[in-house]
Amino acid sequence: MSITPKDAQAIAGMREAGRLASEVLDAITPHIQPGMTTNDVDRLAAECMARQGTRSATLGYQPPGYPPYPKSLCTSLNNVVCHGIPNDKALKKGDIMNVDVTVITPDGWYGDTSRMFLIGECSIAAKRLVQLTYESMWLGIQQVKPGARLGDIGHAIQKFAEGHGLSVVREFCGHGIGDKFHEDPQVLHYGRPGTGEVLVPGMTFTIEPMLNIGRREVKEHGNDGWTIVTKDHSLSAQWEHTVLVTDTGYEVLTLSDGYPALPAFVTATAT
């Protein structure tokens, strides 16, 4: 594992990338409503990126073994866990949707964040899943400080999720991020405290738990090479922030006024 803590110039670039990524989500949020398509969501995001002068990190992205990703963001509905590809299917009341945005700034820094949307009035179970997933992300974030270990983050998320009867997806995880989309370390959303890489100031990575109402197992859906769904067809939710390890704790780089109110147990967005 090769992790190079970022210097002051790189951190400034990451702050700007995080701000711009969250700005894209803020721009599309007022438009999300029943009847629009996820292609509409993608178009709004692409237009915002064009105004910013940023580029989509996902458009054309092709890791080994995958086809090129064809859209500017990911839209994952209901039982889609992650990497849902926007299409012409209309959103309907009762849907839940994750929108995952990653931008590349003109200086080459990556900002990555995702947000859940409730489409119209949703079931109590769906709203509970979305809220508890949000809280689990913040519990993970609160473990971040110099000297802590990656396992502390995963353990906090797993203990909270399973304590509320939810399951943690294990095939996908958070990741280091900087002037590359995916860097070391991998940030698992389950694990044992006191294990894993030691956190040091200057590290930047995402925390992005995916929680299911049903079982944790997932599978590929269809033949697009990207879409991942729950194997038992249960609902899944995800939230994501990019986080910086500071000298005294953490700083959330992708926070904006467009995100929901912080959970009651969160006393600071930077420590």
- 233 assigned binding-site residue: no
- 112 assigned binding-site residue: yes
Structure tokens that stand for 251 in this block: 């700083």
Give the number of other CB atoms < 10 A from CB of residue 12.
Answer: 13
Question: What residues of the chain score a pLDDT lower than 70?
Answer: 1
* Measured distance CA(46)–CA(9) in Å, rounded: 27
- 155 assigned binding-site residue: no
**What pLDDT does residue 222 have?**
86
The single-letter code of the amino acid at 34 is P
pLDDT tens digits for range 187-219: 999 999 999 999 999 999 999 999 999 999 999
**What pLDDT does residue 6 have?**
97
**What pLDDT does residue 2 have?**
77
- 183 assigned binding-site residue: no
Task: For the domain covering 8-252, report its CATH number.
Answer: 3.90.230.10
Q: Are 269 and 262 in contact (CB under 8 A)?
A: yes
- 182 assigned binding-site residue: yes
* Measured distance CA(105)–CA(13) in Å, rounded: 8
Domain boundaries, the chain: 8-252
First to last CA, the chain: 27
Percent of the chain at pLDDT > 70 equals: 100
Q: Are 73 and 41 in contact (CB under 8 A)?
A: yes
Residue found by looking up tokens 């859906």 in the block: 221
